[in-house]
Amino acid sequence: MPDPATAPARPAVPLERLGLTDTVSWGKAAATMWRVMRIGLQTPWQVTLALISTLLAAVFQLVIPQLLGHAVDLTQGAATGDLDAQTALWWTALAVLGVSILRGVFATFQNYFSEAVGHHTGYRLRLAYYDKIQHLSFGFHDSVHSGDLITLGLLDIEGARMFFATGVVRFVLLFVLIGVGGWWLLRIDVWLGVLALSFVPYVGWRSSQSQLELRQTWLDLQERLSVLSRVMEENLAGTRIVRAFTAEAHEMDKFRRASTRALDLAHERVDLRVDSTAAMTLSFLLAMSAVLLVGGLKVRAGDMTVGTLTAFLTFMTILQMPVRQLGMLVNSVARTSTCGARVFGLLDLEPSVSTAPGARDLAITGPELRFDRVTFAYPSAPDTPVLRDLSFTVRRGEIIGLIGAPGSGKTTVAQLIPRFYDVTAGAITIDGQDLRDVSLGSLRQAVRVVSQDVFMFTTTMENNIAYGDPWADPDEIETSSDQAQLHAYVDALPERYRTVVGERGASLSGGQRQRMSIARTLLLSPEVLVFDDSTAAIDARTEERILAAIRAGRDKRVTILVAHRLSTLADADRIIVLDRGTIAEEGSHADLMALGGRYRTLWDLQNRSFGDRR
C-alpha cells in the first residue's frame, strides 16, 4: 500500500482536470490577473481610497529626505547663532514631524483599504468556489481527493486574493518612489545620482530571482502540506481502526516523515531568503560607500552642501526596501497567475450533469420508471461499460429487487435514477420524460436514494433526520423515525431527538446510522424510492419491520431494493438478477426458485451459510 508521506508530491488539484499545464502563458496570466482585478473593482470606493492613499504616502515619503537635507544645512547656520536659521530649523523639524505623521496615516489607510479589497476578493472567490463544488458532477468528485479540494480552496484562493495589495498597490508605490525619486536624484547631480541608484538593478534582479525561487519552493511546500493534511485526515477518519490494530506507532512514523519533508523544504526556503538578503544588503552598502566617498569630495570642494549629501543618503536608505520589493512584485504576478489559474480553472468547469437550458420540472402522473436499452460506463473508465443494453420497467405500487455479484451494476442502477451520472447510451424515463430533459431539482425531489454509504452531520438527531426538510413537524420526524425502527432507541435517550450525533455519526452503531438514513429519506415521501443495500448493517428482525413499513406505503411510489441478502428481496414483486451489467434472470422469488438458475444457487448458498430466516 503506498505511503502518502513518501509518495511524490502532486498539485492541489490534478492540472489536467482543470485544463491547465505546468506553465501559464503570458496571455493567460494577464487574463487571470484581470479577472482577479475585476472582482476587486466590485468594491470601487475602497479601491479608490487605497490608490489615493498609496500616492500620498509615496509623495510624503519623498519629501522627507529633502526636508532632512534642508535641516542639516540650516544646522550649520544655527550653530553660528543665526536666529533666522534657528527659527527655520524649528519649522523644518516640525515639517519633518508633520510629513512623517501624514505619511504614516496614509500608509495605514493604504494597508487597510488594500487589505479590505483583498478580503472582499477572497470572500467572493470562496463563495463562487464553494458554489461550484456543490454543482460539479459526481464524476469530478470521484477523481479528485477532497483534501486537495480543501487545499485549493484555501491556499490558492489566498494567493489570488492578495494581488491587489501585493501587486497593484505595490506597483503604484514603487513607480512613484523609484521613478520620481530617481528623477529627483539625477536632476540634482547626474553622476552622484547614478552612484546612488547603482544598487537598484542588482537588487531588483536578485530580489526577483530569489522570489521566483521562493515561489517555486512554496508551491512544493504547499504540495507537501497537502500530503500532510491527507495523512492527518485519514488518520482522524480512521482513528478507531488505528486503535483497534494498535497502529499508533506506524501512523506517528508516517506523520513524522511527512512533517520532516515539509520541514526540510522550509529550511531550504530560509537559506534562500538569508543568502538573498545578505547579497542585496552588501550591494546597497557598497553603493552607499561610493556615494559617501564621491559626495564627501564634492562637499570638500564646495560643489555640494552637506544637506544635499544627507538627502542623497537618506533617500538611498528609504529606497532600499522598495527596491527589494521589486522581487515581491514579480512574485505577486507569478503567484496570482498560477493560483488564480487553478481557481478559475475549476470555476470554469462545466458539470457533466446539469439542467439543460429550457428544461421543465418533472411532472409525475404515475410514476412509471423505465430503463430503455441503457448502457453506461464511468468517466474514469469510458471503455469499460458497467451496464450493457439494460431494459426494465417499474410501475407505481411495484417493488422490485436487484441482486447480483459485486460489480454487476446494482449500485450503478441506483445512481443513474436520480441522475448522479448520465447514461452513455439509451434513456431512463419517468412517466415518459427523459431524465436529461427535466430539471435536476425536480428530479431529485421525486427520486430519493438511501445509500449504503451513510453520512451523518455533527448536529442533533432531529436535524439529521430533517436534513431534506428543515421545516418538518416533530410528528412527521417521529413517524418517519418509527417507520425506520429508530424511534424507540431515540425516545429512550435523555435528550431524545435533541441528542447530538458525533462526527460522522461516530456515536451510533452501523445499524443505527442506516436506520437514521432511512428515516431521513422516508420523511420526504418520494415518488421513486431506491434502497441501495441500505439495510446490510441491520439485524434481520428489525429489517423485516422496516420492509413491512415500506410495503405499507408501496401504493404511493415506485420502490427498488438493492441487496446482497436474498431474504430482503423475497417478497418483492419482481427480482432482477444482474450479471456484468445485463439481466441474467427476472421473475418473482417463486419463479426464480423454480427456474433453478443463478438465483436458486445464491439462495441455497446463503441459507446453508446463515440459515433460512423465513
Query: The domain spanning residue 130 has which CATH number?
Result: 1.20.1560.10
Report which listed range, 15-29, 58-72, 138-152, 423-437, is most confident. Answer: 423-437
State the Cα angle at 483 between 479 and 489, rounded to 5°.
85
Report pLDDT digits (tens) over 126-180: 888 888 888 877 777 767 766 667 777 777 788 788 888 888 888 888 888 888 8
Decide if pLDDT at 20 tops 50.
no
Q: Give the pLDDT score at 376.
A: 92
Which of 318, 347, 376 corresponds to the end of one domain?
Answer: 347
**Alpha-carbon 590 to chain mean position:** 52
Which of 298, 316, 347 corresponds to the end of one domain?
Answer: 347
Q: Give the pLDDT score at 76.
A: 63
Show the beta-strand stretches assigned E in 413-452.
425-430, 433-434, 447-450
For the chain, what is the mean pLDDT? 79
**Residue 511 domain-assigned?**
no
Contact partners, residue 172, CB within 8 Å, separation at least 6: 51, 54, 55, 58
Report pLDDT digits (tens) over 543-590: 788 888 888 878 888 888 888 878 788 888 898 988 888 888 888 888
Residue the block writes with cell 526556503:
269
Q: Give the pLDDT score at 128.
A: 87
H helices within 247-384, ranges in order? 248-301, 306-347
On whether both 564 and 534 belong to a single domain, the answer is yes
On whether both 439 and 535 belong to a single domain, the answer is yes
- Round to whole Å and give the CA distance between 445 and 528: 9
On whether both 316 and 383 belong to a single domain, the answer is no
- Round to whole Å and give the CA distance between 71 and 93: 7
Q: Give the pLDDT score at 155.
A: 74
Q: Give the pLDDT score at 45.
A: 92
Contact by Cβ (8 Å): 561, 569: yes
Which phi-psi region, left, alpha or beta, contains residue 370 (left: φ > 0; alpha: ψ -120 to 50)?
A: beta
Contact partners, residue 606, CB within 8 Å, separation at least 6: 565, 566, 567
Report pLDDT digits (tens) over 321-380: 777 676 677 777 777 777 787 888 888 878 788 888 888 988 888 888 999 999 998 887
pLDDT band at 14 (very low <50, low <70, confident <90, very high): very low
- Round to whole Å and give the CA distance between 327 and 212: 8
Q: Give the pLDDT score at 142.
A: 66
Share above pLDDT 90 across residues of the chain, in percent, rounded to a whole number: 5
On whether both 388 and 424 belong to a single domain, the answer is yes
Question: One-letter amino acid identity for 26?
Answer: W
Contact by Cβ (8 Å): 190, 51: no
**Grid cell listed for 348:** 470554469
Q: For residues 424 and 613, which has the higher predicted lDDT (pLDDT)?
A: 424
**Residue 502 domain-assigned?**
no
On whether both 401 and 319 belong to a single domain, the answer is no
- Round to whole Å and give the CA distance between 532 and 550: 14
Report pLDDT digits (tens) over 204-252: 777 777 766 776 776 677 677 777 777 777 777 677 676 766 767 777 8
Report pLDDT digits (tens) over 174-215: 888 888 878 887 887 888 888 877 877 877 777 777 766 776
Report pLDDT digits (tens) over 26-56: 677 778 888 888 888 888 999 999 999 999 9
On whether both 200 and 280 belong to a single domain, the answer is yes
Contact by Cβ (8 Å): 541, 554: no
On whether both 334 and 438 belong to a single domain, the answer is no
Q: In what order do the strands lie in the sheet with 425-430?
A: 387-395, 368-376, 425-430, 433-434
- The residues facing 576 across adjacent strands are 402, 586
Strands 433-434 and 425-430, bridge-based pairing: antiparallel
Q: Give the pLDDT score at 22.
A: 45
Contact by Cβ (8 Å): 226, 148: yes
CB atoms inside a 10 Å sphere around CB 360? 12
On whether both 49 and 182 belong to a single domain, the answer is yes
**Residue 470 domain-assigned?**
no
Q: Give the pLDDT score at 240.
A: 66
Whichever domain contains 391, its CATH number is: 3.40.50.300
**Residue 360 domain-assigned?**
no
Decide if pLDDT at 611 tops 70.
no
**Residue 150 domain-assigned?**
yes
Q: Give the pLDDT score at 15.
A: 42
pLDDT band at 257 (very low <50, low <70, confident <90, very high): confident
Which of 347, 382, 410 corresponds to the end of one domain?
Answer: 347
Q: For residues 273 and 175, which has the higher predicted lDDT (pLDDT)?
A: 175
**Residue 468 domain-assigned?**
no
Report pLDDT digits (tens) over 501-513: 766 656 666 777 7
On whether both 336 and 372 belong to a single domain, the answer is no
On whether both 334 and 381 belong to a single domain, the answer is no
Strands 582-587 and 399-404, bridge-based pairing: unpaired
- Round to whole Å and give the CA distance between 195 and 190: 9
- Round to whole Å and give the CA distance between 143 and 231: 18
Q: For residues 273 and 598, which has the higher predicted lDDT (pLDDT)?
A: 598
Report pLDDT digits (tens) over 384-414: 888 999 999 998 888 898 888 888 888 889 8
On whether both 184 and 126 belong to a single domain, the answer is yes
On whether both 187 and 282 belong to a single domain, the answer is yes
Q: What total of structural domains would you count in the chain?
A: 2
- Round to whole Å and give the CA distance between 125 and 54: 25
Decide if pLDDT at 88 tops 90.
no
**Grid cell listed for 315:** 533617500
Q: Give the pLDDT score at 5.
A: 40
Tell me if residue 247 falls in helix, strand or coil. coil
**Residue 62 domain-assigned?**
yes
Closest CA to 598 of 608, 610, 584: 584
* Residues counted in the chain: 614
Decide if pLDDT at 19 tops 50.
no
Closest CA to 322 of 197, 174, 182: 174
Tell me if residue 575 falls in helix, strand or coil. strand
**Grid cell listed for 178:** 523609484
Contact by Cβ (8 Å): 12, 146: no
Domain of 249 in residue numbering reads as 21-347
Q: Give the pLDDT score at 283.
A: 81
Q: Give the pLDDT score at 371.
A: 92
Averaged pLDDT, 418-429: 90
**Residue 225 domain-assigned?**
yes
